[in-house]
Structure 1
Amino acid sequence: MSNRRRQTGFSLLEVLLAITLLAILLAGAMSGIRAATRAMHAGEQNIERTNRLRVAQEFIRRELSRSLPLAFGQEHGSGANFVFQGENDFLRFVAPMPGHLSRGGPYVQTLELARGRNGLQLVFTHNMLNGFDLDKLKPDDGTPVLLLDGIRRGRFEYRKLDDRNELEDWKQDWENPSMLPVMVRIDLEMTAESGLIWPTMEIPLILDTSGGVRLFQQRLPQNGRGGSSDSSSSGATEKQ
């Protein structure tokens, strides 16, 4: 009788119950692993987006704060030099690029709020100032770089000094392209899906624009423009 009890194994019901409990434990473990994996990926994506925003802000602040009073074109009719162009969704200026991104010399740089798939995009383009021709500029010229997307709305604003050297109010259009503004403000509102918050940037710029005018006048003969004015001025000098 005792030998029969030792040889008796588990019943089918006991085996099924053990398998069921094991499956439940494995399912719970896999669910926890998947949840942990999703949380890890979400955290990595949030870190990546935050780093991208931080890098974009640092890059924009660096380039705008180093704006040079160099002219990159002339207005037809008045002959005014273009040193800085600014609108509520577009701005263009001249500044040196970081060493690892440039081939030397100043660059004509643009920031633009363009329409994208997930709202607005902050797009950056750059062209070397040497050989830059504003009249022949095409929409696909330069190397477009997407700095940031997932923008619900945004605007660029500009500030200058009045006749008493006091700061005026912010304006969404820069009225005098022949000089640099005192400050540039970039205000963006991100979409809820992006999970980002853009701290408003207020960036001070260089004020003196006389150097840009002189440099542009020196560049005119090299670009094949303004030769007649140079010859006329030299002829007037000879007559004197």
Structure 2
Amino acid sequence: MKRGSAAGFTLLEVMLAILLLALLLAGSYGAIRTAVHAMHSGESAIDRTNRLRVAQEFMRHQISRIMPLPFGRDESTNTNLIFEGRRDFIRFVAPMPGYLSKGGPYVQTLAFKGGRGGRQLLFNDEMLNGFDPEAKSDNEPSLLLDQIEEGHFEFRTLDENGELTDWSDDWDDPSMTPVMIRIVARMSPEARVEFPPMDIPLMLDAGSARRQQPFQTFGARSALKPVKAR
């Protein structure tokens, strides 16, 4: 009687099994890496979108609450400085949110400036009491947005008939406030986020600042300093 030969795997079968196992492990590792990358990309997209929304809401909150209070005086024209607006810069007086405020109104600026990887939108604030327009600010500006290809401000007011005028990127009467401010920012492709134009109406009655007022009206003569004509 013959004994049954012991069953086993050939070398070729073992090598094929190892190869299949390696392929399965490589596929699993690739799938895990793809899932992790997608998760990180999704988190980055959410973070970019949230940062943009926070910046937009902050600017909307501050601009909509602009107050017709003077932060300086142009002695050459004998006018109060209530609002300064250029294509790349605005300055105004408004209250700060409670968690950032020490009380009282603040002189606030928003400015588009050059930076690495494109232009940046910067914010700065100083208390109105004792503010000097000619002095250099000691406060470090806060970065609201970066990676901007092009950005500017536009302004809208009322004509003599009470009708809204066309948008303009230059504000030529600092003794008056506009009734609406537009912020336009075209983001660079690297930012991977869009910035829709923001049209922000002022909540306070802009008509209260549409005529030149003496400093006594605001009771702020002692706190304000004259500035040179620009």
TM-score under structure 2 length normalisation: 0.88
**Distance in 1 of aligned mates of 2:213 and 2:100:** 23
**Distance in 1 of aligned mates of 2:160 and 2:14:** 93
Map of 1:176 onto structure 2:
173
User: Retained in 2: the 8 A contact 1:155–1:187?
Assistant: yes
**Distance in 2 of aligned mates of 1:51 and 1:143:** 23
Map of 1:82 onto structure 2:
81
2:217 counterpart of 1:219 = no
Give % identity: 51
Q: Tell me the number of residue pairs that the alignment of Structure 1 and Structure 2 aligns.
A: 221
Map of 2:47 onto structure 1:
48
Extract unaligned runs of 5+ from structure 1. Answer: 227-240
**Distance in 2 of aligned mates of 1:105 and 1:217:** 14
Structure (1/2) with the larger helix percentage = 1
Map of 1:141 onto structure 2:
138
Counterpart of 2:95, as a letter, is: P
Counterpart of 1:42, as a letter, is: S
**Secondary structure class of the residue paired with 1:166:** coil
**1:1-240 alignment runs, 5 A limit:** 2=3, 4-5=5-6, 8-136=7-135, 138=136, 141-205=138-202, 206=204, 207=206, 208-209=208-209, 213-214=214-215, 218-222=219-223
**Distance in 2 of aligned mates of 1:126 and 1:222:** 16
User: Retained in 2: the 8 A contact 1:70–1:216?
Assistant: no
TM-score under structure 1 length normalisation: 0.85
**Secondary structure class of the residue paired with 2:22:** helix
Q: CA deviation at 1:11?
A: 2.9
**Secondary structure class of the residue paired with 2:170:** coil
**Secondary structure class of the residue paired with 1:134:** coil
**Distance in 2 of aligned mates of 1:168 and 1:193:** 36
Counterpart of 2:191, as a letter, is: S
Q: CA deviation at 1:13?
A: 2.5
Q: CA deviation at 1:76?
A: 3.3
Extract unaligned runs of 5+ from structure 2. Answer: none
Q: CA deviation at 1:68?
A: 0.6
- Alpha carbons of 1:81 and 1:114: their partners in 2 closer, same or farther (altered >3 Å)? same
What is the RMSD of the two structures over their aligned residues, measured on CA atoms?
A: 2.1
User: Retained in 1: the 8 A contact 2:215–2:221?
Assistant: no
User: Retained in 1: the 8 A contact 2:79–2:212?
Assistant: no
**Distance in 1 of aligned mates of 2:214 and 2:54:** 32
**Secondary structure class of the residue paired with 1:135:** coil
- Alpha carbons of 1:96 and 1:147: their partners in 2 closer, same or farther (altered >3 Å)? same
